[in-house]
Amino acid sequence: MELIGIYTVENNEDVHLIELTFDIAPDNVDVGQITQEIQGQLQSNWQSPWDEKYLDDNGEKIIGDYFDAPKDGYKTRLVFFFHYIDFSRPLLTQEGKLTLTMPTSLPDRLRDKLTYDRPD
């Protein structure tokens, strides 16, 4: 598992886009296990990925989403929106803890491919 980047979301300071790779097939990635502990809260209240998308190996093309995950491949490249991230705490995944970096601007390869829509 590797953190590719954390990106700012224009006009949404409480939301970030996170890009990760896993050395396992998309069918074996449990997106529901990606979270961040909020001390004093039940785990059911912790944040989880929103509007995840699967990318090709170069991270330039969307090849799947929550409803249609890729069926083949040995590696997974995933982007998702995450609300209220605490940069002092790790992201928790099925592969273990992931230390976070500070956000950067959205790379050109993702610009105009992802749109943030606030959950209802």
- State the pLDDT confidence band at 69, using cuts at 50, 70 and 90: confident
The chain-wide mean pLDDT, for the chain, equals 93
Q: Are 27 and 87 in contact (CB under 8 A)?
A: no
Domains of the chain, residue spans: 2-98
Dist CA 120 CA 118 (whole Å)? 6
Name the DSSP letter for residue 45: G
The answer on pLDDT for 107 being more than 90 is yes
- State the pLDDT confidence band at 71, using cuts at 50, 70 and 90: confident
- State the pLDDT confidence band at 72, using cuts at 50, 70 and 90: confident
The answer on pLDDT for 3 being more than 90 is yes
Counting Cα atoms < 13 Å in the Cβ hemisphere of 99 gives: 0
Dist CA 118 CA 46 (whole Å)? 17
Full-model pTM: 0.94
Q: Shortest CA distance to 49 belongs to which of 70, 24, 71, 19?
A: 19
Task: List pLDDT tens digits, range 74-90.
Answer: 899 999 999 999 999 99
The two tokens of residue 64 are 């799947």
